């Protein structure tokens, strides 16, 4: 099977849309999906800074959605014609997976970042027959088609705008899941969100949908304006005495804070903005040491890393589409679509902050 895909051949090179070859149909537990749209995520772009740990050449893309074309059989639980959102891969057998925490799968890094499933590899080659790296996040969905473990796929209602749904499987799932799952935020709670990008704004929307008071912190006026439209109180990240402002706005401190920036200064500010026993969740990968200032962890305050919003995708994604139908999670307002052929323009716009969530449409 031959089809178009965006191939990254070098860490410094642009993507090139090329013909690729998939040499067999679905193996046991797999489905073939025609991609309707795929979100471009900063995790995809971080491959450029991975110091060679992510193998190239590769087809990236891990926020895809599309229609099932073929399955390995009824045991997949899916059928041709089903609409699906694709999320991260997990083994399904380790203690974390069996305990309902697939984001902490023992094989998460191996399956999603560094090699894929040895028992069922991606079987990609380029048009000349040269091997491409195994599946990225179980998908490699910067492409017209993706061969996916059925475990990654979540069936969704066919009336939903399929080309826009892919980011629900990663970035939006991460932000919303942190609020709804990790924090369990509800009416009367207070949430401070640091960084109003795709993950942060998804957290803002989820928190307001849950009935919480939300403060959004960012340095870009246009991102703060978006957060305000989603009923958050906006605060400039450069404001003097930022923790004090948040404590006043939240009546003594936020119960929960979410940092999406990885900024050491803002992480310390977030801890100082918490009320006693408050919880700070980190979702960004830290690239430096994290020195904590004296007093930031006093009085029962806690800090925790959150992966993939602590989500079971098959449970959270339908919840988010239900909130969207009710007008309470308008994630579509964060999306700008690009043809797959314009992936390099989408990357530039994402890096420059001109778009919150690019979605590539084959």
Which tens digits make up the pLDDT trace of 106-159?
A: 999 888 887 665 555 557 899 998 988 888 998 999 999 999 999 999 999 999
According to the model, what pLDDT value does residue 118 have? 59
Strands (E), the chain: 2-8, 16-22, 30-39, 58-59, 64-71, 83-86, 124-126, 145-149, 153-156, 190-194, 213-218, 233-236, 254-259, 274-282, 302-305, 335-339, 357-361
Supply 193's token pair: 């969100």
The per-residue pLDDT for 48 is 86
- pLDDT at res. 45: 85
Give me the pLDDT at residue 51, please.
64
Q: What's this model's pTM, rounded to 2 decimal places? A: 0.95
Predicted local confidence at residue 121, as pLDDT? 57
pLDDT of 49 reads: 80
Q: For position 10, what pLDDT does the model report?
A: 92
How many DSSP H helices and E strands does the chain contain? 10, 17
Q: What parts of the chain have a pLDDT lower than 50?
A: none
Spatial contact of 140 and 5, defined as CB atoms under 8 Å apart? yes
pLDDT of residue 122: 56
| Strands laid side by side in the 274-282 sheet | 233-236, 213-218, 190-194, 254-259, 274-282, 302-305
The DSSP result for 270-328, as a single string, is HHHHEEEEEEEEE-SPP-S--PPPTTTT-TT-EEEE-SGGG--HHHHHHHHHHHHHTTS
Q: Please tell me the distance from the alpha carbon of residue 328 to that of residue 208, in angstroms, as a whole number.
A: 8
pLDDT of residue 116: 60
Instruction: Quick: pLDDT tens for 134-148.
Output: 889 989 999 999 999
- Phi, psi of 31, rounded to the nearest 5 degrees: -135, 150
């Amino acid at each position: 099977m031959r089809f178009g895909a965006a191939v990254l051949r070098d860490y410094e090179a642009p993507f090139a849309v090329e013909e690729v070859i998939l040499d067999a149909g679905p193996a046991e537990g797999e489905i073939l999906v025609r991609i309707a749209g795929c979100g471009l995520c900063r995790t995809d772009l971080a491959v450029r800074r991975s110091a060679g740990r992510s193998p190239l050449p590769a087809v990236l893309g891990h926020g895809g959605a599309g229609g099932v074309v073929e399955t390995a059989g009824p045991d997949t639980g899916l059928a041709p014609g089903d609409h699906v959102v694709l999320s991260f891969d997990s083994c399904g057998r380790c203690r974390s997976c069996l305990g309902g925490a697939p984001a902490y799968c023992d094989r998460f890094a191996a399956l999603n970042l560094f090699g894929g499933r040895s028992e069922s590899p991606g079987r990609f080659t380029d048009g000349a027959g040269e091997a491409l790296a195994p599946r990225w996040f179980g998908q490699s969905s910067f492409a017209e088609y993706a061969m996916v473990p059925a475990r990654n796929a979540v069936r969704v209602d066919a009336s939903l705008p399929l080309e826009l749904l892919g980011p629900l499987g990663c970035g939006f799932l991460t932000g919303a899941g942190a609020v709804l799952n990790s924090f369990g935020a509800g009416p009367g709670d207070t949430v401070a969100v640091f960084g109003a990008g795709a993950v942060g704004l998804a957290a803002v929307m989820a928190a307001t949908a849950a009935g919480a008071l939300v403060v959004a912190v960012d340095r870009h006026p246009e991102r703060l304006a978006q957060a305000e439209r989603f009923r958050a109180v906006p605060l400039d990240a450069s404001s003097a005495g930022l923790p004090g402002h948040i404590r006043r706005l939240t009546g003594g401190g936020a119960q929960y804070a979410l940092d999406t920036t990885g900024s050491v200064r803002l992480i310390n500010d977030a801890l100082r903005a918490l009320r006693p026993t408050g919880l700070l969740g980190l979702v960004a990968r830290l690239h430096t040491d994290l020195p904590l200032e004296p007093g930031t962890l006093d009085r029962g305050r806690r800090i925790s890393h959150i992966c993939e919003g602590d989500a079971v995708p098959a449970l959270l994604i339908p919840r988010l589409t239900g909130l969207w139908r009710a007008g309470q999670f308008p994630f579509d307002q964060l999306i700008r679509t690009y043809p797959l052929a314009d992936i390099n323009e989408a990357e530039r716009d994402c890096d420059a902050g001109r778009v919150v969530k690019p979605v590539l449409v084959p």
